Amino acid sequence: MAENPFGGDRPDEEAPPEPRAAETLDPATLLSRSDNLRRRQLVSRFVTASQTASALLAVAVLCTVVYSVASRGASVLSLDFLTKNPPEIGHPGGGIAPALVGTGVLIAMATAIAAPMGILVALYLTEFAGRRSQPALRLAIDLLNGLPSIIVGLFVFGLLVVGHHQSGFAAAFALSIVILPLIARATQEVLLLVPSSLREAADALGVSHWRTVLGVVLPTASGGILTATILAVARAAGETAPLLLTSTIFAPGVSLNPFSHEGLSSIPFYIFTASEEADRFGFARAWGAAFVLLMFILLANIGGRAISRRSMVSR
């Protein structure tokens, strides 16, 4: 008799309802294998197998996507591809230089806005916020994090584009809103891991608060903050929706100026437009662009994780 103590199994024929109390049974029967036990172990093994299968499925999907992109994109890759302008629709050859440069400018700007802001917000959360303001601010950051990037795009469109014009700055600003909560949240996690003994040592030496923060807390957490920033850069590099509303009209050539009267070209937007046009040369270039973007993002992820694992304070 093996009445399951966890309510996991429905009682069936083998477990008659009368002898519920174990003391009415000979203890030896509890130790002998019953059909019910075999069934429970079978169920358990089946569930374990399906869990393993789920994990393998996820890894398989990752491999499939990466392989699809690599097998189609790697052959397109060449120096010309990285340094030339795209040709007109329907023509082969050409490259993605404007998109590559544009994405570089956009993520540099977005990070320049979001990283200091995010670190300051995280510092406020861990160093200054009171018992009441801390949960409120954390909720705000989490809400910001949960907002779809297309909504952020609408916001920036209404704020900076309506009545003015598209610009690389508007796009970078939108990207910075998308990654600000990522940096703030991850930095906060790292700051919480800074050993309190370090702070206490600084306090005991009479060091003022701001010097403790700048001289002890931030340097100790720098590895984790760097990781957070790298992951945020990777996220910003692939973000498309905000660009769709802020930076879709641009000159055909390479542009470095985010404040001109036009937007900046970008890799995600390039892939998006190519996917909407039935042009097989465009598809080929888009696969190449996707390969470049995906490699950048995967390497940034691997690198970021490696840094956080090596640094003293890791997530």
Partner 1 sequence: MSVGTRFAGPAASGARSRGRAADRIGDGVLRGLCLIASALAVLAIGAIVYQVAHGASPAISRFGLSFLTHSTWQPNFERFGAGVLLYGTAVTSFATLLLAVPIGVSIALYLSMVAPQRLRGVIGPLVEMLAAIPTVILGFWGILVFGPFLQAHVEPFLHSAFGFLPIFGGAQTTGTGLFNATLILTIMVVPIIASISRDLFLTVPQELKDGATALGATRWEVIRGVVIPSAASGVVAATFLALGRALGEAIAVTQVIGAGNAIHTSLFKTGDTLASRIADQFPSAITKLHIGSLFYLGLILLVIELVANIGAQFIGRRFDVGRGLAQ
Residues 71-110, interacting with partner 1 (CB under 8 A): none
Least spacing, CB of residue 154 vs partner 1, in Å? 5
Rounded Cα–Cα distance for residues 71 and 165 (Å): 39
230 in contact with partner 1 (CB under 8 A)? no
Q: 79 is written with which tokens?
A: 């120096």
Total residues belonging to the chain? 315
Question: Which of 137, 216, 254, 295 lies at the binding interface for partner 1 (CB under 8 A)?
Answer: 137
Least spacing, CB of residue 214 vs partner 1, in Å? 8
Question: Which of 14, 35, 80, 142 lies at the binding interface for partner 1 (CB under 8 A)?
Answer: 142
Least spacing, CB of residue 79 vs partner 1, in Å? 23
Phi, psi angle pair for 9, to nearest 5°:
-115, 150
If the CB atoms of residues 147 and 256 are measured against partner 1, the closer one turns out to be 147
If the CB atoms of residues 68 and 257 are measured against partner 1, the closer one turns out to be 68
* Close Cβ partners of 176 (under 8 Å, ≥ 6 residues apart): 109, 110, 111, 113, 114, 117, 236
Binding mask 262-291 for partner 1 (x = CB under 8 A): ------x--xx-xxx------x--xx--x-
If the CB atoms of residues 150 and 256 are measured against partner 1, the closer one turns out to be 150
Question: Which of 34, 248, 260, 314 lies at the binding interface for partner 1 (CB under 8 A)?
Answer: 248
Name the one range near partner 1 by CB under 8 A: 12-20, 83-91, 206-214, 254-262. Answer: 206-214
Rounded Cα–Cα distance for residues 222 and 215 (Å): 11
Q: 109 is written with which tokens?
A: 């700007």
* Close Cβ partners of 172 (under 8 Å, ≥ 6 residues apart): 105, 106, 107, 109, 110, 113, 258
Helix axes 149-156, 168-193, angle to 10 degrees: 130
Least spacing, CB of residue 94 vs partner 1, in Å? 18
Q: Reduced to 3 states, what is the DSSP secondary structure of residue 261? A: coil
Q: 39 is written with which tokens?
A: 């069934």
* Close Cβ partners of 144 (under 8 Å, ≥ 6 residues apart): 177, 180, 181
If the CB atoms of residues 256 and 275 are measured against partner 1, the closer one turns out to be 275
7 in contact with partner 1 (CB under 8 A)? yes
32 in contact with partner 1 (CB under 8 A)? no
34 in contact with partner 1 (CB under 8 A)? no
Whether 289 and 86 have beta carbons less than 8 Å apart is answered as no
Least spacing, CB of residue 196 vs partner 1, in Å? 19
194 in contact with partner 1 (CB under 8 A)? no
Least spacing, CB of residue 272 vs partner 1, in Å? 5
Least spacing, CB of residue 124 vs partner 1, in Å? 4
225 in contact with partner 1 (CB under 8 A)? no
25 DSSP 8-state letter: S
50 in contact with partner 1 (CB under 8 A)? yes
Whether 263 and 248 have beta carbons less than 8 Å apart is answered as yes
How many residues of this chain interact with partner 1, rule: CB under 8 A?
104
Whether 189 and 224 have beta carbons less than 8 Å apart is answered as yes
